[in-house]
Amino acid sequence: MNELNWIIVPLTLLAQGLSLFAVLTAVLYLLQRLVFSWMSANLGGRSVYISAVIGTPVHELSHALACIIFAHKIKKIVFFNPDGHGTLGYVNHSYNSLNPWQVLGNFFIGIAPLFGGLLVVYLLTLFLLPDGDSLLKLLALSGKNSLSDYSLSAVIELMSSLWIGLLKSYQREPLAVLLWFYLSASVSLHLSPSPEDLKGGLSGFLCFLLVIVLGHLCSSYFAVSYLNSLSLQHLGSWLNPIAVLYIICIVTALTLLMLMLLIKGFLLLIRS
């Protein structure tokens, strides 16, 4: 077993560091599916275009920028053009399978909408909400305090604080908050990678794991100070400030779902 520690240890540290990010991603993805299912069942399949016209271009632009960073050749970009079969947009790109950097890029290109979407939500919150900077400071503070170690009740309390802050902002500038809500919800509902994105990023993910294992091995064996400073043990502290932005996305998606359910219940009550 000791011979396998050089593989098990870095992968365990990686899983621990990504735990918060993975959980919040899964929660938001579930909310997305619930919102889209409700919209399709009650408003028709094309109702998703209401959010997709904003969220899909952000999604595809994130892919495209990652393609540029990892030197992939972009053949075609379609930011928004529904084909009636579920495809809203796409980036067609190619790469050299013998180039490790480009192979690694498949993974980051696949998950790029996560970070691109969070960046857009961050900017919308900062520039559109009257108290946007205060809300972002609240989330940043939570990240520094290791939100991943919080209990579920503490996370719910943080979400409640965010809701209260949004209500106060709405009382001051209702139109700005409504615009922020529409744009942020549209981006939040489309920032998760599609199954095709994840499938395309599989080879890059395996390459990413290899880099993590070899990097940790070099850090431990050669005691390289620079690599030690980038230790996987600090991964959570790097990602927490980013991951807590998901709280904003989750709040917007959850609020939208609650409004939809209330409207549905109200209509059923009237009909009865």
Q: Per residue in 239-261, is it b (16+ CB within 10 Å) or e — as a string? A: bbbbbbbbbbbbbbbbebeeebe
Burial of 189: CB neighbours in 10 Å, binned 0-12, 13-18, 19+: buried
Cβ neighbours for 238, distance < 8 A, ≥ 6 positions apart: 17
DSSP annotation of 77: E
pTM given for the model: 0.83
Which pLDDT score is estimated for 169? 85
Which pLDDT score is estimated for 237? 59
Which pLDDT score is estimated for 1? 47
- For residue 184, what are the domain limits? 2-271
> How many domains are contained in the chain?
1
φ/ψ of 92, rounded to 5, equals -95, 115
Q: For each of the chain's 272 residues, which pLDDT tens digit applies?
A: 455 665 676 667 666 667 777 778 888 889 888 998 888 888 887 888 989 999 999 999 999 999 999 999 999 999 988 877 777 888 999 999 889 899 989 999 998 998 999 999 999 988 888 877 777 776 666 555 555 555 566 667 777 778 888 888 888 889 999 999 999 999 999 988 888 888 878 888 888 877 777 776 666 665 554 444 445 555 555 666 677 778 888 888 888 888 888 888 887 888 87
User: How far apart, in whole angstroms, are the C-alpha atoms of residue 15 and residue 17?
Assistant: 6
